[in-house]
Amino acid sequence: MNELALIVFAPLIAGALAWLIDIKGIREIIGVLGAAVPLGYAALLYQKVNGGLSFAINLGVFKLTFALNALNWFFLGIGALVGFAAILALVSTGRDSYEWLFALMSLSGVLGVFLANDLMTFFIFWEIMTFASFMMVLHYNKAASLKYFLLSVFGAYAMLIALGMIYAKLGTFDFAQIQQAMYKEAYAVAFKADTVFSKGESILIYLLFLIAFGVKAGMFPLHVWAPDAYSETNQSYAAMFSGVLSKTGVYGFIMLYLLMGTRLAIELGGFRSTTKFGYIIAFLGGLTIIVGGLLAALQEDIRKLFAYSSISQLGYILVGIGVGTALSMQAALFHALSHALFKGLFFLIVATIVYRTGKTTFADMGGLAEKMPFTFAMAFVAILSLAGIPPLVGFASKWVLFEAVISQNLPVLGGMVFFGSAIGFVYLIRFTYAVWFGQRPTDLDNVKDAPLSMAVAMAILALFNVILGIAPGLVARELNKIFGKEVIGGNLYVLDLGFGKYNALAILIYLIAGIVIAGIIYFMGAKARRVPVTDTYQSANPVTMDYNLTIRRNFFLPLKETLAFWLRISFDKLYHDIGAWIEDLAEVLRNYIYNGSVQSYAWYLAIILLILALWGV
């Protein structure tokens, strides 16, 4: 069988077998093997990236076509690696064969999206991925799954309309043919010649794709499904949900640039140092950073915290894509990789905490570092990476992104990006102290560390966070291959942008030296002050039971009070109200129009025929 077919269909086949056999132990082995096949073949196909490897399935009416290139191999590697780690952790947290079926089905959907070579194949596997992930959320929370389903359907129909418009005008779904046709369109617009697509049609297709990809990427204001969906599912699967499925939206935005970016740039013009259509994506990405970060800080549930945090971090990627330069695009791809690694790791850590303690809120935790030292070590890596502390991979990708935005003199976007980093420190500090340090509740005294499968899964992602952070040149080399030129220079340990350098190895040496010096000072007898557990901060408020601020309870209540006006503006509530209005309208139509009366239906038919006659039909 063709290698690409094995990559795409092996997880789906394994999931079906695990569901059919449904014998504990055997289904786990089959599931892990099904996830290991794409990872193994992704590594083996590295040498064939530019070899024109392709695969097609003839369905009569149309073909499903797949192809491998430098860009989709990069995303394939992300999906296969984080997907394998999530499936491995599912060995411990998986409840039944139902979860194995749909977790592996969604992995097949993701890989099919990344390897698709035409819009129809892209859409079909997009829907397979969405259906399977919806079923995973439905297994845990019906309300959360319904919200996810409705937003996903909204995005799917937007994409389907865009696909229909493109096919109606060009008669093809093939990426290469569409790209070539859109280039010709761009030249026609530039020289004021006749075009196949009008300006209005081009803008409409752009807006439809913006909605479709924005929903999956969790872009503001289409993000409202993500916090509930990420938190109300198996947390091992949430690592794939956040780390991999969200990247299909990112990949979609990049495909938008490749297929019709030139046409949109010429048609709509520029804004400052970027394009208008790109700046819209970047600005929405900036809002996603701020909204996601602030809401993450206000959460009392660690699952919701990292769900909103994931939304915020995806905003960085959208900013990089929207700025649209070669450097910012590379920064976006770099951060897509690092986000998958540290956010996938975070959700595995959360899965381990929930699995071992049964707790999800800060108020019920504390002092877990002593009982779960390995999980704490993994959390320490993830915290440093997400916070952008060198020499972890999160710092390298954020540094390139900051430089890309600053170099284009885009102060508003720059401010949004830097604000996101600041708020990231805020909620990570709370997670660090409230979960791992301080006084431990007595019912957590017998908590055990991570089971083997989850420990191995976390170790895999943590290792890549460290290796690609110390040697960011490994990522830069692959990104340069995608672009066919050296955008980020340097070597294995140094990133050189021409106007700034980052030496990860030097930073690591300085860091180790600093830790050694600090350790010597500590063991020589540094003075320390014991702080009682009742020592709380109150922000000038009186100490009462209702206003008792500790690291584990109401820590950011003053921030919540400050943002009270803005928190009343809820897109979640807006969508809920729109849904209620539609239900009310449907009820009116049911009662007064679709009322079961044959006489009424005869009158409707007569009126329609009269209107058609007046129009000359």
The pLDDT tens digits of the residues spanning 197-250 come to 888 889 999 999 999 999 998 898 888 888 888 888 888 999 998 889 999 999
The whole-number pLDDT of residue 297 equals 87
Mean pLDDT in residue range 532-537: 54
Mean of per-residue pLDDT scores for the chain: 87
Q: What is the mean pLDDT of residues 570-591?
A: 73
State mean pLDDT over 571-584: 73
The model's confidence at residue 546, banded by pLDDT at 50, 70 and 90, is low
Instruction: Report which of 187, 188, 174, 320 is spatially closest to residue 257, judged by C-alpha positions.
Output: 320
| 3-state secondary structure at position 553 | strand
Residue 610 pLDDT:
84
Residue bearing tokens 């340090």: 437
Is the predicted pLDDT of residue 520 greater than 90, yes or no? no
What is the mean pLDDT of the segment spanning 558-575? 73
Question: How does 25-43 read in b/e, with b if 16+ C-beta sit within 10 Å?
Answer: eebbebbbbbbbbbbbbbe
Across the range 67-82, mean pLDDT stands at 92
Better pLDDT: 337 or 555: 337
Helix (H) or strand (E) holding 58: strand 54-58
% helix, strand, coil for the chain, step of 5: 75, 5, 20
Per residue in 103-157, pLDDT tens? 999 999 999 999 999 999 999 999 999 999 999 999 898 888 888 888 899 899 9
Peptide bond into 391 cis (omega under 30): yes
Average pLDDT of span 455-463: 94
Q: Mean pLDDT, to the nearest integer, of 289-313?
A: 89
Q: What is the mean pLDDT of residues 509-515?
A: 90
Q: Are 115 and 65 in contact (CB under 8 A)?
A: no
- Minimum mean pLDDT among 45-54, 368-377, 460-469, 510-519: which range? 45-54
Span between the terminal Cα atoms of the chain, in Å: 54
Higher pLDDT, 468 or 565: 468
What is residue 617's predicted lDDT score, i.e. its pLDDT?
A: 63
Phi (first) and psi of residue 540, to 5 degrees: 70, 15
Maximum Cα–Cα distance across the chain = 98
Degrees, nearest 5: CA angle 266-267-272: 60
- How does pLDDT run across 175-194, given as a tens digit for each residue? 999 999 888 888 888 888 87
DSSP per residue, 184-230: HHHHHHHTT---SS-HHHHHHHHHHHHHHHHHHHT-TTS-TTHHHHH
| pLDDT at 370 > cutoff 90 | no
The reported pLDDT for the residue numbered 543 is 57
Structural contact between residues 390 and 331, judged by C-beta atoms closer than 8 angstroms:
no
**pLDDT above 70: residue 542:** no
Residue 561, pLDDT > 80, answer: no
- Which two three-digit tokens encode residue 22? 């449904």
463 falls in which pLDDT band (50, 70, 90)? very high
Kindly state the average pLDDT of the residues 372-387.
92
Residue 529: pLDDT band (50, 70, 90) is low
Q: Are 470 and 385 within 8 A, CB to CB?
A: no
Residue in 570, 351, 555 with CA at minimum distance from that of residue 461: 351
Decide if pLDDT at 94 tops 90: no
Q: Per-residue pLDDT averaged across 414-422, rounded?
A: 88
The H or E element spanning position 18 is helix 3-21
- Spatial distance between the Cα atoms of 447 and 435, rounded to a whole number of angstroms: 13
- Encoded tokens for 3: 């290698």
More confident residue, 583 or 256: 256
Q: How far is CA 189 from CA 167, 193, 265, 274, in A?
A: 20, 6, 10, 19
- What residue type is 353 in one-letter code? I
Proportion of the chain above pLDDT 90, given as a percent: 42
Rounded CA-CA distance 106/99 in Å is: 11
pLDDT value for 549 = 59
